[in-house]
Amino acid sequence: MERKMSAENWNGEIDLLRANGVTLAGGLSKQEFEQAETLHDFRFPPDLRSFLSEVLPVGDSFPDWRNPDSDYIFDRLAWPFHGIAFDIEQNNFWFPDWGVRPADLAEAIERARTSVADAPKLIPIYGHRYISEEPHEAGNPVFSVYQTDIIYYGNDLRRYLSHEFRATNRDEAILGEPRNIPFWTDFMESYT
């Protein structure tokens, strides 16, 4: 049985964002969630959904889920693949799980595109920080994604927010083993 989080459960994170000068708008409505999820073909994980139903952080580095058809959101959703493609083209990157790298650059990039498309979608939270839509449970780790430099930035949304907005350090944000996310965890662990 999934536990529904109440508004007071996010008070600490909301206060932390305010203390860091983040502008907060009212939370998203059910219709606004449905519009974003339908347009982008994903579901917000329950903890992100709960948080965004309380407040919507706004500003340059936050996706404005009230306007899910914005260029910024489309760019952020494409960012993980584009960063990987850049490193394939410019830095001779190749993920061993993809098998032997094709000699043809276009074919290599297409193989990477297919692999990323088959992986759980990464949903932008802030800048180049992402949470996986799958599994559709609370507690998915947050990744920092910059080209093929992908690391954990928090075991879950709550720890991530605490880390990003300076209430805790990275060691406190990454305690124990974060949940394994198909493709992304293997990809990250291959290079760390």
Weakest-pLDDT range from 25-34, 60-69, 100-109, 161-170? 161-170
Would the pLDDT of 184 be above 50? yes
Q: How confident is the model at residue 11 (pLDDT cuts 50, 70, 90)?
A: very high
| Percent of all residues in the chain with a pLDDT value above 70, rounded to a whole number | 95
- How distant, in Å, are the alpha carbons of 85, 144, 181, 182, 186 from that of 119? 15, 16, 9, 7, 11
Weakest-pLDDT range from 29-43, 82-96, 119-133, 169-183? 169-183
How far apart (Å, rounded) are the C-alpha atoms in residues 114 and 75?
18
Would the pLDDT of 186 be above 60? yes
